Structure 1
């Protein structure tokens, strides 16, 4: 049987050029709203602007960007777009129906795409739901079906999620890029299930998150804990070096401290990678204390 090497479990953020592209599209649409020659054109441009918003919020991961500039741009675009509606009484009706239909089709297509990806299921349930392994506020940066989850390409990781913390500067609590600046770093990770530890590694240093920092070549999961429940293997990865409290062969109980979130392995910033598999096939994650599916863009607030 062919073994598939797990791909990078790192959270892929909305890159700056992509973010700038979406902002440019939004601003361009605002300009077209203010220069629309008739009402039909105005509503067509509004549909395209709404489609840009769905693209950014649904397929991107905007909360990874610093809060103040992101909210400023969002508010500015919304106010400018609504303000342009004051022009409508003075505009002719117009007859460019094809442009309006095209804009609505694009908007509906994106809404359906995001909805389907967020509600996607592999129809491969866990034997029993897990307990969410983290406490506090977390952001799902990878999760759901294609195109919201790059793990979907790897059979054993197809149901995986990547979880990052949120702070004032996106996923950071201060401006610098030291590991400790990331909101996820050093947070307690607890056992999501009962079972036996079948693999535990604690010897890899964190990847260098500073600009220009060199990547350390490590196994994809880095420091990790894999738990065999008797029906599936639950994998938690990218833990902080020296934080593990369990070893291979240990029996763990749900809620037991396993270690802390870190930045070891194939990763670009501190986060927790979590997935469950059975016979090399990824399963749909479900939790006793977090309702619904976990998909990119969802904020989870889990408190004891």
Structure 2
């Protein structure tokens, strides 16, 4: 019953075991999941919220309050439930808006379990839009969003209009079947928790597949590229040593496609900039970059 909450708790921990997770639910399901998996964390309950910056936040934030274990009128009165509560939290007292603004200013955020018209999402994105109008530059926001077959383009436009990039999963027309989301979170958490072994398992699972069979709903080529990019080189060695030898189509198709853009440079290089073994191999170069105030980086 707590598998999805346990998966989110694992996914929200970085390699240093720092937890950064925000929920707008009032229930205590995360505490029950943590007890089941023997995971410990600190909880912040509204309106006493942390400052969401890298060095100051480690725990689970109940942005709209949390139900107390025992009857407690003070805790119940702090729950953000009614329109008046939202107005106080985001517009008048603005403690929730300040938290959300700092959150989007300092972190890449991924929404899980929100619909495009969710009032909570609207309040959050309105607070973010106000900051952007003042010239604030914020990292990309993402959302795991449901989508009926054939509606991908429309859904993408709706999400992007809110300043959020969607990662769509399919829901059969007329149903409320979100099993694809739950299965994705569980598989993602299992791979993430297993670290190198999880990435090597991806190589084992897909090395002998034809990369042309990869689809938007089952993008195993993307998973393979992610696994092979591990800085340890162990998943790549696993692929190189694979027996029988994987199809040449991996080299001719999947590995030769231009999957990444300039905006991905920071994501790929951030892990290596402090590594004395850093070597940069420029396989393609159209010409020199235009003259700007770039910090020099030699290879």
Q: Same fold (TM over 0.5)?
A: no
Which has more helix, going by share of residues? 2
**Greater relative CO, 1 or 2 (CA 8 Å, sep 6+):** 1
Which TM-score tier does this pair reach, normalised by the shorter chain?
A: under 0.3
Q: State TM-score, norm by structure 1.
A: 0.27
TM-score (norm 2): 0.27
Q: Which has more strand, going by share of residues?
A: 1
